[in-house]
Every structure is written in C-alpha cells, then in structure tokens.
Structure 1
Amino acid sequence: MNTYPNVFNPSKTWLWQGFPISYQTQGTNGPAVILVHGFGASWWHWRKNIPVLAENYRVYAIDLIGFGGSAKPQPGEKITYTLETWGQQVADFCREVVGEPAFLVGNSIGCIVAMQAAVSNPDIALGTALLNCSLRLLHDRKRLSLPWTKRVGAPILQKLLSIPAVGDFFFNQLAKPKTVKKILLQAYGNGDTVTDELVDILMTPAKDAGAAAVFLAFTAYSSGPLPEDLLPVLPCPAIILWGTADPWEPIDLGRELANFPQVQKFILLEGVGHCPQDEAPELVNSILQDWMSEQPPSIPLS
C-alpha cells in the first residue's frame, strides 16, 4: 500500500507519439527538475524526493514508455525500447510539458537516459545528476572484459529469453513478490528500506499487458550508448552520487566516471545500495538541492 496517500495527486497523462505517458508533478516555484527512474521502476521510486525537492523546485517525475503507468506497446511495432528512444521521450517532455530547461536526475539506466536526452537536445538540460549510473557491463563492447562465464553465458541467456514461451515463463517467475523482495534485498544496503510498499510499487506495473514483452526486449538490448560515450560530449555540468554497497554497479568502475571534466562532484554514499534516492533520501535530497542551487539560472527554451 502507498504510505503517502495525502502527498500526491493522481498521476497526470501526456500523449507522446500517440501513447499515454504517466507523470507526477509538484512545486510551483524555482527551476524545473525531471526525475528519471531506472529499469522496471516508475515515478513512485521518487516518492521520498518529490515533496522535499518541490519546496524549492518545479518537480516532474516521468514514467518511461514501457514502465510504470505509461503505455507498454509491443516492442518493434511503433516503439523500440532503446536508450535513444527514452532520451527523446524525456527531451520532448521537457519541451512540451515543462516548457523550460530542466535539471535531469536519473537512477541506474535513468542516468543514461538523462545524459542521452541532454546530448541529443542540449537546449533542454541545466545539469544532470547521476545516481548509481548503469555501467552497462553486458554491453557488446564490454563483454570481453568480463569473466568467461558471463561473457559466454549472457548471450546464451538472451537467446533463450527471445523464445516467447521461455521468456514469458522467466518473467512470470521473476514477477512474484517474494522474488522481487529477494532481488531488492540484494540491491539495497539497508534491508529495512525494502518494504511491502516498495515491492508493490514494482509489482503493480508488471501485471499490465505488455510488461513482459518490454522486459524481455530490454534484456536483449546490448548496444546503444555507454556512460563513457555520453559524458565527454555532455553539454551541461554533472554530479555523480554512488552508493558504495551497490552489488550491480561496482564502485571502483564508477569512480572512473569522475575523471570526465563535466563531472563537478563525485560523492560516495557509504553503505547505500543501488537506489540511493529511495534508501537514503535525506542525503540525496540535501545534496541535490545544494548542487542545483549552485548552478547558473536557466534560459527559456526558444
């Protein structure tokens, strides 16, 4: 159950390429901020951040197409589920709904989406904040550096999951409360933050028609931009926050992203896992507010 019943109004809907996109917004003053969730999540993953940031910012949290309350069209028909697609969605949302440049804040693959949006549409981004950025370790260009078991095993698993019956069975086994909770307990440094509410937030959209196909389409996606491709050409300043207890995105590799000149700060969050905004919102909210307040004012979109 949602423990914030009096904080949020019903989700709003924006039509993008003919598909309904769900988003939440709060705040009436200050620069705009767009929050971009990670794989399999939704705007609800920012429920602990939206009200606090909205005290000084106009906050928008969007459900990427294929996730949350947004449409889940069949992959490959009218939509391809790629980071470029999601990046364009965020950029179009900034122009059509927000109406001015915004700070783009992402978690996990949401970081790549935010950077892609900024790189392909430089006029929409005031800055990017990256929370445990996906390193995309199963990308085609990175597999040679992996242990041979993962280097060989990942493509085999992808081929198996591309068989409809196998893929659907795998998704149905994965999309169970006990399984989701077990995965979250691995990803979060503090198990106490893995609540029934959090499990429900992730489980509810997984029941939608088309959710399995979207999930399987992304598991087969091994191309597209890497963070080290986007950071050198990022047209705006960046800050990186990294939970040191993240089992999926190694901190030692994450540190390498701090070497790019666009990165103003690289901040370690000790003992925090893969989703700092949910596990340590008091830290994340304070850091984001301080950093955004240091940036120059926006110039209206033309």
Structure 2
Amino acid sequence: MDILRRNNVTVTGNPQGPAVVLAHGFGCDQNMWRLTVPALERDYRVVLFDYVGAGRSDLSAFSEERYGSLDGYAQDVVEVCDRLDLRDAVFVGHSVSSMIGVLAARRAPERIGALVMIAPSPRYIDDEGYRGGFSKEDIEELLESLDANYLGWSATMAPVIMGNPERPDLGDELKNSFCATDPDMARVFARTTFLSDTRDILQDVRVPTLILECTQDAIAPREVGAYVHDAIRGSTLVTLDATGHCPHLSAPEATNASITEFLRGLR
C-alpha cells in the first residue's frame, strides 16, 4: 500500500528547510492546521497527514486491531517519516497526537528530533495523585453516548471541547469535522484515546519538548500540563492566553508565535 495515499500526506513549504510534521487530534484532519501552515512554510518543510479513518485517508486501510492502540497510530507516523526519509523532524501533535508523537519518537529516534505538544494528556481519567479531568464514570458515560448516537454526541461535545462560546463558528467547525469522520472508526479512536495511559513513557523523552496549554481547557486541565512538564526532563511549558482545547484554531497568533520561537531555538 502506498503510505502517502493511505494517510493523505501533503508536503508544502520550503523543501530545503527542516521538516515539521503536523498531527491532528481525535475527530479532526489536516485542515485543522490551515492557520498554522502559513507561519511555517517559508522556512520549513511542512508535512501534513490524516490518520486512517480521518479526512481523506484510505478508509480501506483501517483495522480495529491496529488502531485499537495508540501504537498503531504511532506506527503510521513512523511509516510516513520513513517514506519521506525525514531526519530529526519536529513533530507537532494536538491533543492525543502529543502522546502518539512520544511513541513514534521512541520507535524511530532518528526520525523525530523534537516535540511540540498542544493540549496534551497522557491520561484522561483521574488516578490517585493525578488529575486527568474525568472520573472513570465520566469517560464510560462519554463513550456510551458516542456509541449510541455519534452525530448527537458530536453536536453536544464539539462546543465543549472547543470552548469559546462567544465564537460559535469554531464549535460548528469542530462539530462538522467530527461528523465527517466515519462513525465506526471514530468510536475505535475515541476508546483508544480516552482510555489510554501513557504516563510511564514520558520520563523516557530525551528530545527538546515544548508543551502548550490553555488557561482553561475542559479536556486537558492545567494540572495535566504541569504533570507532563514535570515528567519530561528539560521541557518548556507555555500557558497560552487562550481558552478551549484547540488553540491553533481559537488563538492561532499566540500558538504560532510559541511554536516558531521554539523552532528558531532548535536551529
């Protein structure tokens, strides 16, 4: 199977520049980076893709066995990097993709040389000494609601995830993105995402890492950002003057400024 077609890979920007890979979160696709790409494409080779099951990916490549684990998505990332022969790429992951990036960097350290985590969470369910933002019952209810009525769940949850109620167009965009995702595949990715626990691998991260959090985020509260920062040695934590879980859409100027400053420090 052609990897580039499977993941609907798009390469833009400066072909001679360092590679930056932009990875979308659950229910989204590469179009969610449209406000970030212009800030990068003059100086960087920008790689965008869709996870299998999202956007214009090859849906025939979907396997519940493979994508029932974050490792399956990380393997996709590694295969895309291999296919493009990327070296020391900067992996920018939104939400669950932040953890997918950590897994991919472990698999192929020669391919990924730095990480940018936007609203990351290694575990969504509260645990002893850890606040993920949700109880186990919360997540079970969320997944049951998604299973029962995916479109209804999307309409209800998208504005909550996006935040910024004074800008309903942002919530509508996320809802439309959710609704455009194949429901059966979305259910698998949702369970993979919200039941994941990757806290134990954060201590193994050895590449420069930028963590971006928002002042208010219903999905990844600030305690999570602090946890990730403490767990990754030498990481940088930036609290954006933004609300919601998608600052690359709701506050692109601040998000892009933080990313580009970090990238300049790597050169």
TM-score when normalising by structure 2: 0.84
Aligned-residue offset at 1:90: 0.8
Match of 1:238 in 2: 209
Aligned-residue offset at 1:102: 0.6
Given the alignment of the two structures, is residue 22 of structure 1 paired with residue 26 of structure 2, yes or no? no
Find the residue that maps to 1:243 and give its secondary structure.
strand
| CA-to-aligned-CA distance 1:216-257 (integer Å, 9 cap, x gap) | 22333365541x322211131101010111111110232122
Q: Does the C-alpha gap of structure 1 residues 137 and 31 become closer, same or farther in structure 2, counting only changes over 3 Å?
A: same
Whichever of the two has the greater Rg, that structure is: 1
Q: Does the C-alpha gap of structure 1 residues 283 and 77 become closer, same or farther in structure 2, counting only changes over 3 Å?
A: closer
- Given that 2:211 and 2:237 are in contact with CA atoms closer than 8 Å, whether structure 1 keeps it comes out as yes
Find the residue that maps to 1:247 and give its secondary structure.
coil
Distance 1:188 1:253 in 2: 17
Match of 1:185 in 2: 159
* Structure that is richer in helix per residue: 2
Match of 1:8 in 2: none
The total of aligned residue pairs comes to 264
Q: Does the C-alpha gap of structure 1 residues 133 and 78 become closer, same or farther in structure 2, counting only changes over 3 Å?
A: closer
Given the alignment of the two structures, is residue 275 of structure 1 paired with residue 254 of structure 2, yes or no? no
Aligned-residue offset at 1:280: 1.1
Find the residue that maps to 1:60 and give its secondary structure.
strand
Distance 1:157 1:128 in 2: 29
- Residue type matched to 1:97 in 2? L
Moved more, 83-92 or 64-73: 64-73
Distance 1:249 1:86 in 2: 20
In the alignment, structure 2 segments of 5+ residues that lack a partner are none
| CA-to-aligned-CA distance 1:145-190 (integer Å, 9 cap, x gap) | 789x9434644765x57xxxx93x4113234xxx1xx534323343
Q: Does the C-alpha gap of structure 1 residues 224 and 252 become closer, same or farther in structure 2, counting only changes over 3 Å?
A: closer
Moved more, 248-257 or 77-86: 77-86
**Equivalent runs, 1:125-164 vs 2, <5 Å:** 125-138=112-125, 142=127, 150-152=135-137, 154-155=139-140, 158=143
- Given that 2:123 and 2:195 are in contact with CA atoms closer than 8 Å, whether structure 1 keeps it comes out as no
- Given that 2:124 and 2:196 are in contact with CA atoms closer than 8 Å, whether structure 1 keeps it comes out as no
- Residue type matched to 2:9 in 1? Y
Match of 1:11 in 2: none
- After superposition, the CA RMSD in angstroms is 3.1
- Given that 2:94 and 2:120 are in contact with CA atoms closer than 8 Å, whether structure 1 keeps it comes out as yes
